[in-house]
Amino acid sequence: MANGDVTWGDNVIYADFGGRGDARGGTRGARGKKGAAQRRKARGKVVRPRTEIARRVYDAVADRAEEGRRSRGEAYFRDGNVLGFRMVDGQIVGEVRGSQIEPFTVVIKLPYRDAGVADGLLRWLADTTGAAGDLEKGILPGKQLDQLLLAGDEAPSCRCSCPDATLVCKHAVAVAASAARAIDAEPLNALELRGLGVLEARHKLAGLVAEAAARATGRDGDGAGRGPVRRPTGPRTEDPVLEIVEQDFWGTDLPAIEIPTPETMVVLRDTDPTLLHAALRSTTVLSVETLRAVADLEDCWDHLTSPPSFDDVDLDDGPERRRGEDDDGMVAASFDDDAE
């Protein structure tokens, strides 16, 4: 290797392509000193949500994680590795930057609850004095927490795209910590886990509180006072009299109603096709897949509007008639054909 020759033999080149890095860029050596001080400063800090609602969500995930994974997950949360998350339909879905180029996807699914559980909680808040104010502080009784989120004997299921096959990985802990922070900032965010947004929840709660106050003060919903309701007292002076109805109970003597005959409509032809393409585009990746889906729907529509009938089968054709062949000579495709 004289005179700057960096080759060994004829086909081996020794070159320094830099130290080993990670998904955040830079080498480990360059980032080591800078991150060491931050890690020492954060070491020993435990993520502890402020409100009871947030703690119920976070503890349900973090308490099932191994101690080391929990610590690393909390460090991921503090370092900002959670790129984003959303709470919808009983799930917390987030993305976490890890040791690979592509972020890992985490799905935390809470136990199933009925669709009306959020509305039921709002009604309870409106009917219970001081409960709405307590919710603003993140305070909710254990019974309502069990009904809204999960009970003590229930556990969420955690899935992650990382190679760690453990029950709860560090990425799930980081996403749970991010969700807990959002609930600490706005406790009504917890209702998003049951399909109710914050603005809609505030609007419904205000209406329910007004109705509850109206019932308590004896006023209608518009603020107008209600007069006393007078009910007759004492024995009734008139007894009901049974009358014989001279009409047919089933209404056969009623005049016939002319039933309109709607015009036949070909949906795929008489409607705007761009709307159908736009709807299918959200379920496909390539434009050719969208076209195939439209073609399949057209075939299904043709089959529904003109289904084959046994009356169309000519039994005298003998064995020369191909299976699935129609009168016009077309052969219908079948999944069984691929196996032959």
- The amino acid occupying position 253 is D
Give the C-alpha separation, 191 to 199, whole Å.
Answer: 11
Structure tokens at 157: 């299921």
Give the C-alpha separation, 117 to 125, whole Å.
Answer: 12
Give the C-alpha separation, 139 to 137, whole Å.
Answer: 6
- Dihedral over alpha carbons 268, 269, 270, 276 (to 10 degrees): 40
Strand order in the sheet with 82-88: 82-88, 91-96, 104-109, 157-160
Give the C-alpha separation, 284 to 182, whole Å.
Answer: 33
Domain ranges of the chain: 52-214
Q: What is the DSSP letter of 27?
A: B
- The amino acid occupying position 229 is V
Segments of 7-162 assigned E as strands: 7-8, 12-13, 82-88, 91-96, 104-109, 157-160
Give the C-alpha separation, 55 to 181, whole Å.
Answer: 10
Give the C-alpha separation, 81 to 36, whole Å.
Answer: 17
pLDDT by 10s per residue, the chain, length 340: 445 444 444 444 444 444 444 554 544 444 444 554 454 454 446 678 999 999 999 999 999 999 999 999 999 999 999 999 999 889 999 999 988 889 999 999 999 998 889 999 999 999 998 898 899 888 999 999 999 999 988 999 999 999 998 999 999 999 999 999 999 999 999 999 998 889 999 999 999 988 888 887 765 545 555 555 555 555 555 666 656 556 666 777 777 788 888 787 777 777 888 888 888 887 877 778 888 888 888 888 888 877 666 665 555 555 555 444 544 544 444 444 444 4
Q: How confident is the model at residue 64, as a pLDDT?
A: 94
Give the C-alpha separation, 189 to 85, whole Å.
Answer: 13
Give the C-alpha separation, 320 to 48, whole Å.
Answer: 78
CB 58 within 8 A of CB 156: no
SS3 state of residue 20: coil
CB 184 within 8 A of CB 50: yes
Q: How confident is the model at residue 276, as a pLDDT?
A: 85
Q: How confident is the model at residue 148, as a pLDDT?
A: 93
Distance of CA 27 to the CA centre of its chain: 39
SS3 state of residue 4: coil
Q: Note the pTM of the prediction, 2 decimals.
A: 0.54
Which helix (H) or strand (E) segment holds residue 286: the answer is: none
Give the C-alpha separation, 278 to 123, whole Å.
Answer: 39
